[in-house]
Amino acid sequence: MGIAINLTNLTHHIPVNKDLNLALLEDASLQIKGTEQVAIVGASGSGKTTLLSILAGLEPLQSGELSFIKQQVALSSVDINQHSGFVFQQFHLIPELDALNNVALPLKLKGDKQAFEKAHNWLSKVGLAERADFSVSKLSGGEQQRVAIARAFVSEPALIFADEPTGNLDEQTAEHISQLMLQCCRETNATLVLITHNQALAEQLDTVYKLEHGSLQLCS
């Protein structure tokens, strides 16, 4: 079951110099239903990644209200961390580890005795079972992103945050990765919050917001 997100009147400033702050986000609001797939688009430098970081709890909320609801129960920031998965543009894999250990790592850190079994299952789902013992540094960009997707979903999170997950991939590979990620969200009933420059990808999701001049506009 996915997690619903309610963000109201978010304003976020960044320092320009010691005497001046810039309002990167101003009175931004959005509502995301549980299991909904939502894209946030906007120009480079508009604040999309900062917004995603705030939603994911990676940056503090300066002003406004942010709440998470699962099955009509409000969740704490600790709950959100335990229920979230992340897919990044730069993959953020550990090059010294093979694909299997990269995927298993989140479960191993939680003491899950079935970490490797679950990791291998997810590598199979993303079509990389035969690459399980390959160092991730030897994999192609598309394969590395598939490993990253498997790692994000191995804990079966209720909420996925994805920051330009196809930004470093060629068009054909990007399309494959996009469809794979959306399929994984549907299979696990995860809520998806996706940052992208890819308008065609954004339009495949349930809802699209555009971030412009610090505020969010509902496009569809």
pLDDT (tens digit, 9 = 90+) per residue, 2-57? 799 999 999 999 888 878 888 889 999 999 999 999 999 998 888 999 999 999 98
Query: What's the domain count of the chain?
Result: 1
For 163-187, write each residue's pLDDT tens digit: 998 888 888 888 988 999 999 999 9
Residue 145 has pLDDT above 70, yes or no: yes
CA distance 99 to 84: 20
Q: Does 82 have pLDDT greater than 90? A: no
Which backbone phi and psi does 62 adopt, to 5 degrees? Answer: -80, -45
Alpha helices in the chain (DSSP H): 48-55, 77-83, 99-109, 115-125, 141-153, 171-188, 199-202
pLDDT at 1: 66
Q: Is 51 inside any structural domain?
A: yes
Threshold 0.85, pTM exceeds: yes
CATH of the domain at 90: 3.40.50.300
pLDDT digits over 91-144, tens only?
Answer: 899 999 999 999 999 999 999 999 999 999 999 999 999 999 999 999 999 999
Residue 183 lies in a domain: yes
Rounded CA-CA distance 49/128 in Å is 29
192 within a domain of the structure (yes/no): yes
Asked if residue 179 belongs to a domain, the reply is: yes
Q: Please give the residue range of the domain that contains residue 114.
A: 36-57+82-218
